[in-house]
Amino acid sequence: MELIQPLIDGIFIALEPINLAMVILGVLIGLFVGAMPGLGSVNGVAILLPVTFLVPPTAAIIFLAAIYYGAMYGGAISSVMLGIPGASTAVATTFDGRPMALKGEADRALVAAAVASFVGGTISVILFTLFAPPLAEFALKFGPPEEFALMVLAFATFVGLGGSDISKTIFSTLLGLVLATVGLDIVSGQPRLIFFDLPGFYHGINFLVLAIGIYGIGEILWTLEISQGRVMVSKVEMSIKRMLDAFRSLKVTVKSTLAGSLIGYFMGILPAAGATPGSLVAYGMAKSFSKDPESFGSGNINGVTAPESANNAASTGSLLPMLTLGIPGSPTTAILLGGMIIWGLRPGPLLFENNPEFVWGLIGSLYIANVFAMLINLAFVPVFIAVLKLPFTILAPVIFVLCVTGGYAPEQSMHDVWLILLFGVMGYLLRKLNYPVAPMVLAIVLGPLAERSLRQSLLGSQGDMLIFVERPLSAVFLLLGLALFVYPIVQMARHKKRQGGPAGEG
């Protein structure tokens, strides 16, 4: 098969010393941020992206992808040990993982989570390898109207599937797009939206400034607020014999793991869905197809394997549209996409032709990262449990320092650092008022691309908006987008009718 050769080359690229070191380091950091409540892959990737300027782009993306991966494994550790999810992607893991820990089966739950994550990750990487090249080839046919329609579709998934307040979701998306237009007009080069004539706005608002502000400052403020109380870490007994027993008992989880992997992978491809809903759906499916659904919630091991395989599969799934279409499948991949633009790569279908060593190196590294993540996870469980006892008042100031220095580095301007603080506080307040922030980050990354494709399309059609519906592919994308848009409204109307009154949906 023609896929085998580039894949083998990619694995060799990933095994080069620097790249392998990046995989291991990334997985370790990922396990750590995943395990720490309040920090997830997106925080780790946003805060550490500036650090990657030290290494070549291929090593940098391998490092960041390994963080992404490791975080999916790490999330399970605090779900089981603390009963609070280490990241939102591991929420479903608490349902049965915590009861297992309380029954003294924490080691079984952790082993099951690690193995399920490995299976989910591996299956999805194989699917990814099979799907990516043909999808990229298909996407080569896209012109500006298709690109724009595809982005509209990506934003519409937040409205249709995001589950947050619709007007607030759209507001958040539009604000992200407007922030992306600050700086110089991409066509005429005129200064645009230079607020208060501050010179710092001439270089635009880097997506990292918003991402670090929201995920580095805003979310940490949020965590400081909710982590005021003390947490209880469960005791865990670990021995080789018990581990082997735990491995043997995994036979009953084969079905839920496989189903979780597939569900997670396909949910991961959708921009608004991703790992969190993917793992919840996988949990629900495992429960409804189980022979004794009552045992779910009180420590059924399938309740751990289903969501854990799904969240790993989803993280790989969300890389698929990012690499092939240039549309990120999750907030974390949105930041990866922005990073690729900083490194001078153009995400999208041409990447496979122009930078094969980058793409295949990344794909190869995913296979390796999976193996390392599982091994490190199993070997260092006691270490991670010790880390969980680290008070947040040590971690938080270190993160703030990282945000300040990392935010300064790309443009070397204090203006950006002040903006980070502003966005951080605003992000915190908006989040408290139920404004989703993920669409805003996605929008600021995609904003310049969306504007360019819109203006190129309109220029080509002499200002005729019909160009978007005359071309079959873009019409299909827009129709799908419209359906996603209308779906929650119809659902709301039906809900109201059934209730027979103007009941709120709160």
Question: How far is Cα 149 from Cα 144, in angstroms, rounded to an integer?
Answer: 9
Exposure letters 183-221 (e unless 16+ CB within 10 A, then b): bbeeeeeeeeeeeeeeebbeebbbbbbbbbbbbbbbbbb
Nearest-approach distance from CB 460 to other proteins, in angstroms: 9
Residue 184: phi, psi to the nearest 5? -105, 135
Position 161 contacts other proteins (CB under 8 A):
no
Give me the least distance between CB of 126 and other proteins, in Å please.
37
Interacting residue with other proteins among 21, 25, 51, 238 (CB under 8 A): 51
- Judged by CB under 8 A, the residue of 168, 203, 255, 431 near other proteins is 168
Specify the DSSP class assigned to residue 228.
Answer: T
Tell me the closest approach of the beta carbon of residue 401 to other proteins, in angstroms: 5
Asked whether position 417 contacts other proteins by CB under 8 A, the answer is yes
- 8 Å CB contact between 395 and 36: yes
> How far apart (Å, rounded) are the C-alpha atoms in residues 501 and 506?
14
- Tell which one of 4, 54, 232, 466 touches other proteins (CB under 8 A): 54
Q: Which amino acid is at 184?
A: L
Cβ pair 219, 268 in contact under 8 A: no
User: In angstroms, rounded to a whole number, what is the distance separating the alpha carbons of residues 331 and 42?
Assistant: 7
Contact 247, 305 (CB under 8 A): no
CB of 175 to other proteins, least distance (A): 6
The CB-of-195 to other proteins minimum distance in angstroms stands at 7
- The whole-angstrom separation of Cα 443 and Cα 34 is 25
Q: Which amino acid is at 279?
A: S
Question: CA-CA distances (angstroms) from residue 387 to 34, 74, 391?
Answer: 12, 12, 9
429 binds other proteins (CB under 8 A): yes
Does 354 participate in binding other proteins (rule CB under 8 A)? no
Minimum distance between the CB of residue 423 and other proteins, rounded to whole angstroms?
13
Least gap, CB of 484 to other proteins (angstroms): 17
Q: Is 242 among the residues that bind other proteins (CB under 8 A)?
A: no
Smallest separation (angstroms) from other proteins to the CB of 235: 26
Report whether 28 contacts 69 (CB < 8 A).
no
CA end-to-end span of the chain: 53
Q: Of these, 5, 12, 137, 185, which contacts other proteins (CB under 8 A)?
A: 185
Among 4, 141, 199, 228, binds other proteins (CB under 8 A): 228
User: Which of residues 15, 20, 102, 224 is near other proteins by CB under 8 A?
Assistant: 224
Per the CB < 8 A criterion, the answer to whether 402 and 47 are in contact is yes
Residue 29 interacts with other proteins (CB under 8 A): yes or no: no
Q: Which is nearer to other proteins, 128 or 400 (CB)?
A: 400
Question: What's the token pair of residue 25?
Answer: 């380091």
**Piece in contact with other proteins (CB under 8 A), picked from 151-159, 168-176, 336-344, 482-490:** 168-176
Q: From 35-43, 83-91, 192-200, 292-300, give the range in contact with other proteins by CB under 8 A.
A: 192-200
Residue 97 and residue 384: Cα distance in Å, rounded? Answer: 16
Q: Which listed range, 89-97, 173-181, 352-360, 480-488, lies at the site for other proteins (CB under 8 A)?
A: 173-181
> Residues 137, 371: contact at Cβ < 8 Å?
no
500 contributes a contact to other proteins by CB under 8 A: no
CB of 456 to other proteins, least distance (A): 8
Q: How far apart are CA 231 and CA 227, in angstroms?
A: 8
Q: How far is CA 267 from CA 55, 107, 152, 263, 321, in A?
A: 32, 29, 18, 6, 12
Out of 2, 4, 195, 466, the residue judged to bind other proteins by CB under 8 A? 195
Interaction of residue 440 with other proteins, rule CB under 8 A: no
Provide the binding-site residues for other proteins, judged by CB under 8 A: 51, 53-54, 165, 167-168, 170-171, 174-175, 177-178, 181, 185, 187-188, 190, 192-193, 195, 217, 221, 224-225, 228, 391, 393-394, 396-398, 400-401, 404-405, 408-409, 412, 414, 417-418, 421, 425, 428-430, 432-434, 451, 454-455, 458-459, 463, 502, 504-506
